[in-house]
Amino acid sequence: MPKNSSSRDGTARMKRETSTRGPSSFAGVSKPPKIRKSRIAASASASQMKVGLELQLCSYCTNIKTGKLTFPRGNYLTKDHLDYVLENMDSLNCDSCELIGNAIPMNALSEVTEKKGPGAPFSFIQWGNAIEIRDNESFRLYGTLRVDIDYNECPIIIPETIDFTAPTAWLEHCKKVHGAACGQRDLSTRHSKSVDVILVDVIQNCITMKTTASRYFALSYVWGGAITTTTTMQNFVAFQQPESLKNDLILPKTVSDAMLLTREMDVRYLWVDCLSIIQDSPKKHRDIVNMDVIFAQAELTIVASCGRDANSGLAGVQQGTRRRRATSKILGHHILTLELSLDKPELLHGTIYSSRGWTFQELLLSKRVLFVTEHQVVFHCDASRRSESLPKE
């Protein structure tokens, strides 16, 4: 069941003179700001990327009254246009603009719609609480600078590796509080019947014959162009021997990381297509047909939402594999970027994973999903969404 990769489409430029990196919770300026140096005392911290440096702030950022950002929820500062900062972020040499610019979602202008009128064409832009209709000479983007969540709802810094106790607790909470019916898909009566299946035993590091009545996770990912170890008629018996899969060199990084993640979440079995389907077997078609049952009955589906192929791994399972966050100390306040959206479209936007038809089907059939992004893990069931940045319901 080969999964071929496709080239990732670059960021679409919605307008020739406007960056499409989109709005953030910070707003820039509509005219070139004057740069001046602000002496900031930065403390030594492992999470600090700029320590003991003389930070550059433009005049606009220097005048931001950051004390207002800690007001109770509902108070915020609305600033000017973002587009100038986005286009000139590198040349501005402002640490604040650079920090926030790097946090701007790549899909922020996806809602831009051009319309034809009786006169010149115009564009309608809606983002957050800002709407503007302009001629097509330029786009103007507005943003809001505010504290969006209470401090006790969110850890300041997500660790460099996954705290496996967190997704384990989310899963157990779902099973205990939401009940067995949470996420059940009544797509077909066949999804309630168990079928024979080959599962990876992550304790014994081998494959084993089971049924979908067993407690197991499923892995949803893309093969891409990676050379992938597969189960064949020739190695089927050998792969059933304990420790036959222990050598990570024979397994794609995403698969070996998924095995570790499954084991750390106290689940013994994992379904992964390259090992759970005998690729040259006459029964391969039957196994492929049963994949809807396999994903529907899995206790949890692990989604490798970042990376180009099966060797990209799962960010955060191993040390040093998560993308480092932009962080700085500006005007006496420690600032870093966090994804606050837990919505599925934004988690998967622009990823190779989202471009595959079969991955859409796997997500549709799964009753619970753990998205592994480049920064954090996000848990979805029908009743709740959890993440390392927003751990509470």
Is the domain of 130 the same as that of 174? no
191 in helix, strand or coil?
helix
pLDDT value for 85: 57
Q: How many CB atoms lie within 10 A of CB 258?
A: 28
Is the domain of 142 the same as that of 251? no
Under the banding of pLDDT at 50, 70 and 90, the label for residue 258 is very high
Among the residue ranges 72-86, 159-173, 245-259, the one predicted with the least confidence is 72-86
Of all residues in the chain, what percent carry a pLDDT higher than 90? 27
Residue 17 lies in a domain: no
Under the banding of pLDDT at 50, 70 and 90, the label for residue 215 is very high
Mean pLDDT of the chain: 68
pLDDT value for 329: 53
- Predicted confidence (pLDDT) at residue 239 exceeds the cutoff of 90: yes
Residue 361 lies in a domain: yes
Under the banding of pLDDT at 50, 70 and 90, the label for residue 204 is very high
Under the banding of pLDDT at 50, 70 and 90, the label for residue 220 is very high
pLDDT value for 47: 32
pLDDT value for 76: 44
Domain that holds residue 359: 165-387
Average pLDDT of the residues in 120-139? 41
Among the residue ranges 171-185, 196-210, 372-386, the one predicted with the least confidence is 171-185
Among the residue ranges 51-65, 203-217, 278-292, 305-319, the one predicted with the least confidence is 51-65
- Predicted confidence (pLDDT) at residue 293 exceeds the cutoff of 80: yes
The more confident residue out of 123 and 378 is: 378
The more confident residue out of 342 and 392 is: 392
Is the domain of 208 the same as that of 357? yes
Is the domain of 100 the same as that of 211? no
- Predicted confidence (pLDDT) at residue 195 exceeds the cutoff of 50: yes
- Predicted confidence (pLDDT) at residue 83 exceeds the cutoff of 80: no
pLDDT value for 209: 97
Residue 159 lies in a domain: no
pLDDT value for 40: 29
Diameter over CA atoms, the chain? 74
The CA distance from 359 to 379, in Å, is: 17
The more confident residue out of 22 and 76 is: 76
- Predicted confidence (pLDDT) at residue 219 exceeds the cutoff of 90: yes
Under the banding of pLDDT at 50, 70 and 90, the label for residue 93 is confident
User: Final residue of a domain: which of 118, 148, 178?
Assistant: 148
Under the banding of pLDDT at 50, 70 and 90, the label for residue 374 is confident
Is the domain of 80 the same as that of 194? no
Residue 103 lies in a domain: yes
The CA distance from 390 to 393, in Å, is: 8
Is the domain of 130 the same as that of 175? no
Is the domain of 67 the same as that of 116? yes
User: Final residue of a domain: which of 106, 121, 148?
Assistant: 148
Number of structural domains found in the chain: 2
Is the domain of 110 the same as that of 229? no
Average pLDDT of the residues in 255-270? 96
Q: Give the count of alpha carbons within 13 A of 155, CB side only.
A: 10
User: Which region, left, alpha or beta, applies to residue 22 given φ > 0 means left and ψ of -120 to 50 means alpha?
Assistant: left
pLDDT value for 34: 36
Among the residue ranges 149-163, 209-223, 271-285, 290-304, the one predicted with the least confidence is 149-163
216 in helix, strand or coil?
strand
Under the banding of pLDDT at 50, 70 and 90, the label for residue 188 is low
Q: What is the pTM of this model?
A: 0.62
Residue 158 lies in a domain: no
User: Final residue of a domain: which of 102, 120, 148?
Assistant: 148
pLDDT value for 37: 33
pLDDT value for 160: 78
The more confident residue out of 252 and 81 is: 252
Is the domain of 246 the same as that of 375? yes
- Predicted confidence (pLDDT) at residue 15 exceeds the cutoff of 50: no
The more confident residue out of 241 and 55 is: 241
Is the domain of 242 the same as that of 170? yes
- Predicted confidence (pLDDT) at residue 290 exceeds the cutoff of 80: yes
Residue 24 lies in a domain: no
Is the domain of 169 the same as that of 144? no
For residue 360, give Cα distances in angstroms to 66, 224, 344.
42, 16, 11
Is the domain of 306 the same as that of 174? yes
- The three-point CA angle 200-204-208 to 5° equals 40
Average pLDDT of the residues in 306-333? 73
Residue 137 lies in a domain: yes
Under the banding of pLDDT at 50, 70 and 90, the label for residue 4 is very low
Taking Cα atoms as reference points, which of 105, 183, 126, 160 lies closest to residue 351? 105
Under the banding of pLDDT at 50, 70 and 90, the label for residue 250 is confident
**Beta strands, E only, 300-368:** 300-304, 327-330, 333-336
Residue 199 lies in a domain: yes
